[in-house]
Structure 1
Amino acid sequence: MRIRTAAKAATTLALAGGLALTLGGAAFAATGPTNLTGKGCPSVYNNSASGGTYTQTLTKRFVAANGIAYGDYKVVFHNSAGIVSSAGTREYRCY
């Protein structure tokens, strides 16, 4: 019986964790990091959103074949509890 109870508890926790991740993803999509297009490709940019801070760090600046400059940014989210999580990468046009 104990193994069955433990398995049910683990399943319940996994489902609850999945729901929390889904809700967090929805909040991220609604506010997220700042769109840096047109801001000149700063080396670092911070903005507050979703109950924490997004830090966007320039990882690569390049000029496309059409002559337009772009910047690739690594995005990290710091929540109010101090937990850091990756929010992927973004590309913005530099002008």
Structure 2
Amino acid sequence: MRLRTAAKAASTLAVGSVLALTLTGTALAASGPTSLTGKGCPSSYSNLADGGTYTQTLIKKFVAANGLQYGDYSVVFHNSAGVKSTLPTREYRCY
């Protein structure tokens, strides 16, 4: 009986953890820099979110081995006070 109880507890914990990760991932995806996939790889793009402005600037365009074109973008966030934060580079598919 104890083994079943332990298995149920582990299963409930795993489901709860996945749900928490899903909710967190969804919240993060709703804000931040705009995904430029499918926007033709513009030379720069800005959007307002999270109380500031995200500016993405094209660093390079390249064609992958599969023939699809991609663009790498530097991402900078300026908050409402004008403080600049550089974020990790992002890659988007150009089409």
TM-score under structure 2 normalisation? 0.69
Equivalent in the alignment of 1:64:
64
Give the distance between the partners of 1:68 and 1:88, measured in 2 at CA. Answer: 22
Q: Deviations over 1:54-89 (max 9, x none)?
A: 000000100001110000000000000000001111
1:48 aligns with 48
- Tell me how far apart the structure 1 counterparts of residues 56 and 63 of structure 2 sit (CA, whole Å): 20
Structural mapping, 1:1-95, within 5 Å: 29=28, 30-95=30-95
- Aligned-partner Cα distance in 2 for 1:87–1:64: 24
Q: Which runs of 4+ in 1 moved over 6 A?
A: none
User: What is the total number of aligned residue pairs between the two structures?
Assistant: 69
CA distance in 1, matches of 2:58, 2:46: 12
Amino acid of the structure 2 residue aligned with 1:61: K
Summarize deviations over 1:15-38 as a string: whole Å, max 9, x none.
xxxxxxxxxxx9x93511000000
Calculate the aligned-residue CA RMSD, in Å.
1.6
1:3 aligns with none
Gaps of 5+ in 1: 1-25
